Amino acid sequence: MNIVDKNFNQLVKEIKSLNPYELYYRIRRGFDNIPNETKESCITFFNQFDYWGKLDPQNNNYEEIEKKTEAFVSHIDDFVWLYEHLGDYRSKKTLYSILNNWYQYDFVTTTEAQETMFDDYFDLDLVKCSKDEVIVDLGAYIGDTIHSYIKNYGSDCYKKIYCYEITPSTFDLLQENLKDYPNVECRMKGIGDKTENLKLMDHKTSASANTLSNDENGNVVMTTLDADIKEKITLIKADIEGFEQKALMGSKRHIEKDRPKLLFSVYHNNEDLWKIAKMIYEIEQSYSFYLRYHGSPIYPTEITLIALPNKI
């Protein structure tokens, strides 16, 4: 057994040996022991983004730690499943580093796992692209992912690109930034698991974190990828602030029929990390899974699940 397997198995064994009360206070102790400056940074970060729970020790609010405890208690076997289905040891070490950070606020292993060689989504050892690509960018923002794609693969390495963005002011910038590239179509719609209208919720920190809430009179048109695009899709990137699971279900026909490369953000809650891979596997078992991580070592964000179809 190598060191990565050994470390992961020891972590799982230790977590399973603790009851929920012991586990919660083990994580609490890890938080209490980090430097005050780092502690304040964590508090500010978690309270800015409503993904992982609030953290307000002065008012005895440790929701973020409670949610991590629940994720370990209820889904440690799901994390083991993911580990066993990851396609390389960079991915396995990344998963170990993320869970070790959750468990004991360890920043050393997350620093080691940070991706520094390749751009987010486009690991050139894994993601191979050609001039026949039909690309869908869910959460296209201002076109930064498409610029990265073209930088890495060239402006002649696609047939068609569809960009989806829900924030009107951001959509205008998206169109402006991509206007010089041929065969790029921008659609101001959201992608989910059904057709409906939702309300745009502006995030106070960044428009890139804008999300949606239920409101039948809302101003955002939602549809599914299966309904909105009929041609064959070869690559789907999704970073849509927690709607990734719904977008995946709304793309089921394309995944079954087209078997596109899937580049999904899996950090907007404590569930996506394991669940999105399982959802893909349940739709189509001919995928291999990889994890890459570009975020801060203090708390792992910008985690991408790369799901690649195996040749049949």
Say if residue 89 is in the same domain as residue 187: no
In which region does residue 143 sit, left (phi positive, over 0), alpha (psi from -120 to 50) or beta (all else)? left
pLDDT digits (tens, 9 = 90+) for 5-61: 999 999 999 999 999 999 999 999 999 999 999 999 999 999 988 899 999 999 999
Give the mean pLDDT of 216-224: 79
What's the CATH number where 258 sits?
Answer: 3.40.50.150
Q: What mean pLDDT, rounded, does the chain reach?
A: 93
Say if residue 147 is in the same domain as residue 214: yes
Distance (Å, rounded) from C-alpha 159 to C-alpha 165? 20
pLDDT confidence of residue 195: 83
pTM value > 0.85: yes
- Whether 129 maps to a domain, the answer reads no
Distance (Å, rounded) from C-alpha 261 to C-alpha 243? 18
pLDDT confidence of residue 212: 65
- pLDDT bracket for residue 214 (50, 70, 90): low
Please check the confidence at residue 188 and state whether its pLDDT lies above 60: yes
- Whether 201 maps to a domain, the answer reads yes
- Whether 118 maps to a domain, the answer reads no
Say if residue 259 is in the same domain as residue 145: yes
- Whether 271 maps to a domain, the answer reads no
Alpha carbons within 13 angstroms on the beta-carbon side of residue 190 total: 29
Say if residue 150 is in the same domain as residue 202: yes
Say if residue 206 is in the same domain as residue 252: yes
Domain boundary residue among 113, 144, 170?
113
- Whether 296 maps to a domain, the answer reads no
160-164 and 184-187 beta bridge pairing: parallel
Give the mean pLDDT of 258-274: 97
Q: Give me the domain span that covers residue 70.
A: 3-113
pLDDT confidence of residue 311: 75
Please check the confidence at residue 201 and state whether its pLDDT lies above 80: no
Please check the confidence at residue 209 and state whether its pLDDT lies above 70: no
Please check the confidence at residue 205 and state whether its pLDDT lies above 60: no
Q: What is the 3-state secondary structure (H, E, C) of the chain?
A: CCHHHHHHHHHHHHHHCCCHHHHHHHHHHHHHCCCHHHHHHHHHHHHHCCCCCCCEHHHCECHHHHHHHHHHHHHHHHHHHHHHHECCHHHHHHHHHHHHHHHHCCCHHHHHHCCCCCCCCCCCCCCCCCCCCEEEEECCCCCHHHHHHHHHHCCCCCCEEEEECCCHHHHHHHHHHHCCCCCEEEECCEECCCCEEEEEECCCCCHHHCEEEECCCCCEEEECHHHHCCCCCCEEEECCCCCHHHHHHCCHHHHHHHCCEEEEECCCCCCHHHHHHHHHHHHCCCEEEEEEECCCCCCCCCEEEEEEECCC
pLDDT confidence of residue 204: 55
Domain boundary residue among 224, 245, 265?
265
Say if residue 107 is in the same domain as residue 139: no
The residue whose two tokens read 């977590």 is 15
- pLDDT bracket for residue 312 (50, 70, 90): low
Q: Which residues contact 116 (CB under 8 A, 6 or more apart)?
A: none
pLDDT digits (tens, 9 = 90+) for 96-105: 999 999 999 9
Give the mean pLDDT of 261-285: 97
pLDDT digits (tens, 9 = 90+) for 130-143: 999 999 999 999 99
- Whether 275 maps to a domain, the answer reads no
Domain count, the chain: 2
Residue whose C-alpha is closest to residue 280's, from 293, 261, 267: 261
Please check the confidence at residue 219 and state whether its pLDDT lies above 80: no
Say if residue 17 is in the same domain as residue 100: yes
pLDDT confidence of residue 50: 80
